[in-house]
Amino acid sequence: MAEVVLRGSPHVLSRRRPSFVRAMAAETRRKVPHVLTVAGSDSGAGAGIQADIKACAAAGVYCSSVVTAVTAQNTVGVQGVHPVPEDFVAEQLRSVLSDMEVDVVKTGMLHSGRVIEVLCSSLKEFPVRALVVDPVMVSTSGDMLSAPSTLAVYCNKLLPLADIVTPNLKEASALLGGSSLKSVADMYSAAKSIHSLGPRNVLVKGGDLPDSSDAVDVFYDGEKCHELRGSRVVTRNTHGTGCTLASYIAAELAKGSPVMQAVQAAKCYVESALCYSKDLVIGNGPQGPFDHLMKLKSHVSGLAQKPLFNPDDLLLYAVTDSGMNKKWGRSITDAVKAAIEGGATIIQLREKEADTRDFVEAARSCMAICRPCGVPLLINDRVDVALACDADGVHVGQSDMPAHLVRSLLGPRKIIGVSCKSPAQAEQAWADGANYIGCGGVFPTSTKANNPTVGLDGLRTVCMASKLPVVAIGGIGAGNARSVLEISVPNLKGVAVVSALFNQECIAKETRRLRSILSDVLRT
């Protein structure tokens, strides 16, 4: 009887036939990108390992953790820090690194030089693809989290192992012995000086830069400084932004992204999350947390969720153009009102010339026009603007943010469209979670110079291969819209137009004319 039990035990099977079990596991296992965060625990869950895990989850990456300290903190500040003994930090590191195939290690709060030495020793014993160092020394509220004596060990032992280090202005100043950083030029100099300490790349974060209307970061790769600018989000909910940025960089590196691309994706993600969370109220202190997964508003607003995407909305897809609005002396809201009056079924704002602040305000005004009419409003390329104005979705091109990342930022109920010219691109859009694809240019167009056309045959080929609804775009107007829809492919749902509507004296009149043509084709 004992023999029967043993044969049924997977543990006995693994002892008797370890090579067989390992071979089977290798056959069936799919490698999951994995980040290990080595940092302190934040009881308020806005920063530290809690923020790291949430950021990696938002990026679609597994995150394990080694706790270096336990803190008592909330939105008011840090009330206490309890360091984890160095030997137990070492035991945690060995447990994870020896078993779980970590791709990238990201560090946060390292409270002592001995902890840093333990980490460096572990990384030499268990090498990983990349090391991201966020030199956390002071909390957002100004409380000290690391002993001053750790600075020398940081500079001499940890930074030379780092693939990227991500100090804010205070941390960069500390690493450089107290240098004052008050301008972008100071950030350039600091990035180069910190690079000389050994890391392969440096990102100096300028969120606290005085007198700056933008969020400016400086990235230095050892050869060139890159100035990365984004919109500054005014909110109290900034606790944990540094941890989150570094963790998202680590997550992108774990997925195989180049360092610069990982930094850009992380910066965009943090900006989007801050925009989404700026009005949340969690805690009573001056620094609140933000919502990494961008889902909390639907639970606290008391409002019913908007319906999911309806492919029939693609019938007459109107794409605004800032140059045409300027030519005819119209505001973007005037153009959108006229298009809806004429029968446009969906609106996309493509405003290449507006700065972020003006674009957000204009988009909010357009949302106030579209929503009561039941007309979805999408933003071209700009996920941050879409989040800031609560637009219905985003349309991206092949060179923009990948649709799977857009989906992780916007959540499941927003609309995502992707520009595609080939069956392979259409297949990828479907795999990435898009709702529809825009195929074109079908015909030559003046709005995009040197844009290769696919023609009606190419449009038909992409439609036949696509698992998603398709809207045709490029050079389409009243004269040829009928020929586009008459290719008679079931998932071709409509046409997207720019000049045919917005480069005309009367937008409403031209929209009604085109809507009538499209409706006639559908009736036949």
Q: Which residue has the higher pLDDT, 232 or 509?
A: 509
| 205 flagged as catalytic | yes
Return the structure tokens found at 113: 């030089």
Q: Which residue among 205, 267, 414, 421 is the active-site one? A: 205
Longest dimension (CA), the chain: 90
φ, ψ of residue 206 to 5 degrees: the values are: -105, 30
Q: What's the pLDDT tens digit per position in 164-196?
A: 999 999 999 989 988 889 999 999 999 999 999
| 75 flagged as catalytic | no
Give the SS3 label for residue 395: strand
Count of beta carbons in the 10 Å neighbourhood of residue 323: 13
Give the SS3 label for residue 396: strand
| 6 pLDDT more than 80 | no
Report yes or no: 428 and 464 within 8 Å, Cβ to Cβ: no
Average pLDDT for 222-247:
90
What is the C-alpha separation between 309 and 355, in angstroms, rounded? 29
Quick one: pLDDT band at residue 146, thresholds 50, 70, 90? low
Q: What's the pLDDT tens digit per position in 330-377?
A: 999 999 999 999 999 999 999 877 788 889 999 999 999 998 899 999
| 68 flagged as catalytic | no
What is the C-alpha separation between 285 and 447, in angstroms, rounded? 50
Return the structure tokens found at 181: 């950083």
Count of beta carbons in the 10 Å neighbourhood of residue 178: 7
Count of beta carbons in the 10 Å neighbourhood of residue 56: 27
Quick one: pLDDT band at residue 301, thresholds 50, 70, 90? very low
Quick one: pLDDT band at residue 433, thresholds 50, 70, 90? confident
| 144 pLDDT more than 80 | no
User: What DSSP letter does each residue of 174-230 carry, written as one string?
Assistant: HHTTS----SHHHHHHHHHHHHTTS-S-EEEE-TT-TT-SEEEEEEE-SS-EEEEEE
| 20 pLDDT more than 60 | no
What is the C-alpha separation between 130 and 132, in angstroms, rounded? 7
Closest CA to 215 of 204, 223, 225, 202: 204
**pLDDT at residue 424, as a whole number:** 94
DSSP 347: E
Closest CA to 119 of 145, 88, 93: 93
Report yes or no: 385 and 379 within 8 Å, Cβ to Cβ: yes
Q: What's the pLDDT tens digit per position in 99-117?
A: 999 999 999 999 899 999 9
Q: Which residue among 75, 241, 345, 447 is the active-site one? A: 241
**pLDDT at residue 303, as a whole number:** 40
| 238 flagged as catalytic | yes
What is the C-alpha separation between 393 and 411, in angstroms, rounded? 10
Count of beta carbons in the 10 Å neighbourhood of residue 84: 18
Q: Which residue among 56, 243, 275, 463 is the active-site one? A: 243
Is the pTM higher than 0.75? The answer reads no
What is the C-alpha separation between 370 and 117, in angstroms, rounded? 58
Report yes or no: 59 and 408 within 8 Å, Cβ to Cβ: yes
Q: Which residue among 242, 342, 343, 438 is the active-site one? A: 242
φ, ψ of residue 492 to 5 degrees: the values are: -80, 110
What is the C-alpha separation between 375 and 362, in angstroms, rounded? 16
Report yes or no: 239 and 140 within 8 Å, Cβ to Cβ: yes
Quick one: pLDDT band at residue 319, thresholds 50, 70, 90? very high
Return the structure tokens found at 176: 């450089």
Q: How many residues does the chain have?
A: 524
| Angle of helix 48-59 versus helix 259-277 axis, rounded to 10 | 110
| 417 flagged as catalytic | no
| 502 pLDDT more than 80 | yes
| 299 pLDDT more than 70 | no
Return the structure tokens found at 91: 């035991």
| 328 pLDDT more than 90 | yes
Q: Which residue has the higher pLDDT, 320 or 177?
A: 320
Average pLDDT for 120-142:
86
**Which residue in the block uniquely carries the two structure tokens 């009928």?**
482
Q: What's the pLDDT tens digit per position in 347-358?
A: 999 987 778 888
Q: Which residue among 238, 244, 320, 356 is the active-site one? A: 238
Report yes or no: 493 and 315 within 8 Å, Cβ to Cβ: yes
Closest CA to 377 of 349, 352, 351: 349
| 326 flagged as catalytic | no
Q: What share of the chain is helix, strand, coil (3-state, %, to 5)?
A: 45, 20, 40
